[in-house]
Structure 1
Amino acid sequence: MRFRRRTRPARLLLALTLTPLLTGCFASAGEESGDATGERGPRLRVALAFPPAENLSPYGADATILSRLGVTEGLTALDANGSAAPALARSWQREGDRAWLFTLREATFQDGAAVTPARVAAALTHATEARPAPAALSGVTLTAEPAGGDRLRVTTDSPDPVLPLRLAGPALAVLSPKAYDTKGRADPVGTATGPFELTKVTGATAATLDRFDDYWGGLAHASGIDARFIADGTARTNALRTGQVDIAEAIPVAQAATLDAATRRETATTRTTGLQLNTSTGPFKDPKLRAAAREAVDTAALAKGVYESHADTGTGIYGPAVTWAAGKREQPVGRAKPTAPHGTAITLATYDNRPELPEVAQVLKQRLEKAGFAVELEVREYARIESDALAGRFDAFVVARNTLVDTGDPVAVLASDYTCDGGYNLALLCDKDVDRAVAKAERTADTSARQSAALAAEAGILGTDAVVPLVHQRIVTGVGTSVEGVLLDPYERTLVGTGTRR
């Protein structure tokens, strides 16, 4: 099965682990002890911040929802160190420069079909043909085919030294043949492989999941999950405080102090909140005005004021959770000198699913107006604003972006967000020097050299002022005192697993 994408060469950075399953893996896999007796524990009640934007399609932003609820999984997963760890594939080995041989574990889809190399190959084919395309496969040409017995061979048209890490992306979940229709759409209801089976979706308000008793990793303790999508952060916090839910993600920092200390869990994440400036149309096509906007921002005040010190001051695209970046970061290159705005009118937008963002935007509005811009502010729910943001209908957009969410590779976010062909290029940046720097990082196989190349590309991107890093977030999760085994990780891919119970 062969499929081709039209963007950039393969990209990945973090070191691979080609050994047996590591301890500390964040994925909801078999190392968590499930309920061996088969008894069904109480259902978990979970409040999520983001309603489905794409009808729970496994290919776009909703893929992370499915991953966090323990519905879907791929061939590999990310461990605590950001390395590739076994999931549906129990081991793998490289064959030359362009091929990898994966050995599958014995597993079953939630509709009863067996997980086989042919079905996994078909699932990967469907994923790469999806629109919107999964960011984890941007620019990659793959051949996936059975290799005899329980083995699957994946071949790339150019060397991809860390392909197993790429396959850990939430959007590359493996679904059964029944999931796919003739128009390329995929339905995860009852067709995934995770410990919890999605059985019902109620629009953008709720989802029902039941324990999947044939899960390869063992029985989950909880008998199921009742998930509610609550965009309002105060409402999520109140739901936890009043005992309506057991777990509430993304507690607003303004609400964190209202929770008992025993119910607050703070996790450093790889998520950076940034101000994306439209470099293609409108006032910020002028690099001097972009520089003026950057100069107007006080990132330390945002971290201390808006985030009440539950965030770190923005230092770059990668934050302190990307631990290797601190010693390798380069200074931005090629920045223009700022010019006075003289009342230049701009539109600034953001979304309210992450409750700090509207306040961040309001503070930015005040700072930009003080610098001489005339600012119109627009705030919507993310599902209602994403398409306009990607189409460049705003001059500036405040977004909280997990720099490792798509593949676990920091180079991937550079290609997706800041190159001419990038699929999530909110700044609409198209700079030949940036493209060359990102392409160089993508081609670099040695881990240390690839890190250096990534930070050289970051310096070039920051030099354009297409993005102003504001803060690096820490996420506060509300967890009921009776709940155990919640999976909190810096990549924000997991939340509940077989060991989560109350």
Structure 2
Amino acid sequence: MRLPARLLPVAALAAASALLTGCFTGADPSSAEGDGKRVRLAMMLPPRSGLSPLSDDAFKLSRWSTAETLVKLDAEGDARPALATKWQQNGRTWTFEIRDGVTFHDGTELTAEAVVDSLTKAATASPKPRILDGVELTVRAEGDKVTVTTGTEDPLVPQRLSSPQLSILAAKAYDGKTVNPVGAGTGPFELTKVNGTSSATLDRYDDYWGGKAKSPGIDVKFVPDGTARAAALRSGEADIVEAVPVSQAAVLDQDLITEVPMPRTNTLYLNTGKGVFKDAGLRAAAREAIDAKSIVEGVYEGRADVAEGLLGPALPWAAELRSPVKRARAGDPSGESITIGTFTDRAELPEVAAALQQQLQKAGFKVKLDIREYANIESDALAGEFDAFILSRATVLDSGDPAAYLYSDFGSDGSFNLSQLADKTVDAALGKASEAKAGETRRKAVIEAEAAVLATDAAVPMLHERVIQGDAAGVTGAAHDPRERELVTVDTYVK
């Protein structure tokens, strides 16, 4: 059981602080020129693939504002210009106009050919970047324009091209066996040095097309230990700290932390294919038995949002478009035995499982828990071996669009259908959402698909998670991005 943050031993906090001593002893931040000091950044996860943009490391390059994409997303998830200034669709082909006056950090010019080179490397990589799974994509240059053609008509091509995994890098990045982003981006900060999995250094790129950055540079340290990251903020050794653990948030100055709603929902998936929850009335009984508010307050110490649907406050349009859902009447669960599975990799989930066990037993169910490491339980969950499964699930994948998540998790042929759901009404709604044009039309179709899923009680959304970011008192302009694509931007500096 987690100790309240205020009861953590002083010795543990001192030890964590010691882990950070000397971590940011590079350039003297007070000697830097410009509007502010260098930004000292403590990040949670070290690079896993040498900062290759074709991996999840791409999100680090994006958060440091060193690598950029043709398109970026606004708060609504709509595509906006970045390295491309405009685009248009003609069936399976999209044409993008490339921004003039952009140079890579090695001084070479951004051209249509350079864009084609980067995107072709991604499209032909093995394995492909996740955003291109199942997507057939070819790219060619036509003067100062780039055409992107897909195997089937795809309304989300601009959103796909916003993924950090499709960052545009200089030709030199592709000279070796792996993609090397050092000195090869187009952003306001140039990646100049990477020290394995311990640190990275970025300096301001004064020829940035979008204007001079306010900070002279970024000094990154990778600090996997959450207590150590919190200690770095408390001691003043870091200016911006990623992912402060819930257990540490209470012992920090509350003015220094920001809780950012994440597009991640903690959901109880109910097996509709066999067992107790094949009965819609018993699924309804389980839904009515769950007190999500007490889980938010008890397990997450109030630092999460009670779910009203599958899509949470990180997608602000969802609540605006959502209407009440008509559901089945609850049956009598007395004496019904169920097994709930979850995993240990996310620290809160076993605690959530214990709370659910008590709530469902109070309603009349007999509840057994099966808790393992994720690698050892995923195959059983996908095979429908549990009556119910607790999962913390990202609801917006790389394109910034929730339709893919809904289809994967609730389509009758979805690849991650833990509920074993096969419902014609749901499939029709998911199909409509998948084919809808981007923008308001697609958002409305997505909410209709969400409603169709919720009406089945195949999934009971409980809460939406938040990530806690620490910004020191002198930090100005740090991004608080639910999609975790931005952190230090051209406008970020330390006074």
Go from structure 1 to structure 2 and tell me whether the alpha carbon gap of 1:456 and 1:139 turns closer, same or farther (over 3 Å shift): farther
Contact kept? 1:195, 1:217, Cα under 8 Å: yes
Residue of structure 2 in register with 1:316 after alignment: 309
Residue of structure 1 in register with 2:131 after alignment: 136
Give the letter aligned to residue 120 of structure 1. Answer: V
Residue of structure 1 in register with 2:159 after alignment: 165
Q: 3-state DSSP class of the match of 1:373?
A: strand
1:450 corresponds to 2:445: no
1:305 corresponds to 2:298: yes
Contact kept? 1:351, 1:358, Cα under 8 Å: no
Q: Residue by residue, what CA displacement relative to the aligned partner does 1:223-250 show, whole Å, maximum 9, x if unpaired?
A: 3323233344333222200112111122
Superposition deviation, residue 50 in structure 1: 3.4
How far apart are the structure 1 equivalents of 2:360 and 2:125? 40
Go from structure 1 to structure 2 and tell me whether the alpha carbon gap of 1:216 and 1:446 turns closer, same or farther (over 3 Å shift): closer
Go from structure 1 to structure 2 and tell me whether the alpha carbon gap of 1:142 and 1:194 turns closer, same or farther (over 3 Å shift): same
Q: Work out which of the residue numbers 418, 422, 434 in structure 2 matches 1:427.
A: 418
Superposition deviation, residue 161 in structure 1: 4.0
Residue of structure 2 in register with 1:500 after alignment: 492
How far apart are the structure 2 equivalents of 1:178 and 1:52? 20
1:239 corresponds to 2:232: yes
How far apart are the structure 1 equivalents of 2:187 and 2:142? 24
Number of matched residues? 454
Q: TM-score, normalised by structure 2?
A: 0.77
Superposition deviation, residue 76 in structure 1: 0.9
How far apart are the structure 1 equivalents of 2:56 and 2:272? 24
Give the letter aligned to residue 221 of structure 2. Answer: R
How far apart are the structure 1 equivalents of 2:189 and 2:86? 26
Q: Gaps (5+ residues) in structure 1?
A: 1-36, 380-384
Superposition deviation, residue 77 in structure 1: 0.9
How far apart are the structure 1 equivalents of 2:326 and 2:196? 44
1:66 corresponds to 2:61: yes
Please show how residues 386-397 of structure 1 align to structure 2 within 5 Å: 389=378, 392=381
Please show how residues 324-343 of structure 1 align to structure 2 within 5 Å: 324-329=317-322, 331=325
Residue of structure 2 in register with 1:376 after alignment: 370
Identity %: 44
Superposition deviation, residue 345 in structure 1: 4.7
How far apart are the structure 1 equivalents of 2:352 and 2:469? 20
Residue of structure 2 in register with 1:252 after alignment: 245
How far apart are the structure 2 equivalents of 1:415 and 1:438? 6
Structure whose alpha-carbon radius of gyration is higher: 2
- Measured on the aligned residues, the alpha-carbon RMSD in Å equals 3.8
Q: TM-score, normalised by structure 1?
A: 0.76
Contact kept? 1:41, 1:221, Cα under 8 Å: yes
Contact kept? 2:285, 2:330, Cα under 8 Å: no
Residue of structure 1 in register with 2:19 after alignment: none
Contact kept? 2:381, 2:389, Cα under 8 Å: no
Q: Residue by residue, what CA displacement relative to the aligned partner does 1:106-162 show, whole Å, maximum 9, x if unpaired?
A: 3233344332212212322232334554443444433321111x2212234444445
1:83 corresponds to 2:74: no
Residue of structure 1 in register with 2:88 after alignment: 94
How far apart are the structure 1 equivalents of 2:375 and 2:164? 19
Go from structure 1 to structure 2 and tell me whether the alpha carbon gap of 1:324 and 1:347 turns closer, same or farther (over 3 Å shift): closer
Go from structure 1 to structure 2 and tell me whether the alpha carbon gap of 1:418 and 1:152 turns closer, same or farther (over 3 Å shift): same
Higher RCO (CA-CA < 8 Å; seq separation 6+): 1
Q: 3-state DSSP class of the match of 1:239?
A: helix
Contact kept? 1:287, 1:336, Cα under 8 Å: no
Contact kept? 1:368, 1:375, Cα under 8 Å: no
How far apart are the structure 1 equivalents of 2:195 and 2:36? 24
Residue of structure 1 in register with 2:169 after alignment: 175
Superposition deviation, residue 316 in structure 1: 1.7
Q: Work out which of the residue numbers 256, 270, 287 in structure 2 matches 1:263.
A: 256
Contact kept? 1:276, 1:399, Cα under 8 Å: yes
Contact kept? 2:44, 2:224, Cα under 8 Å: yes
Q: 3-state DSSP class of the match of 1:271?
A: strand
Give the letter aligned to residue 237 of structure 2. Answer: Q
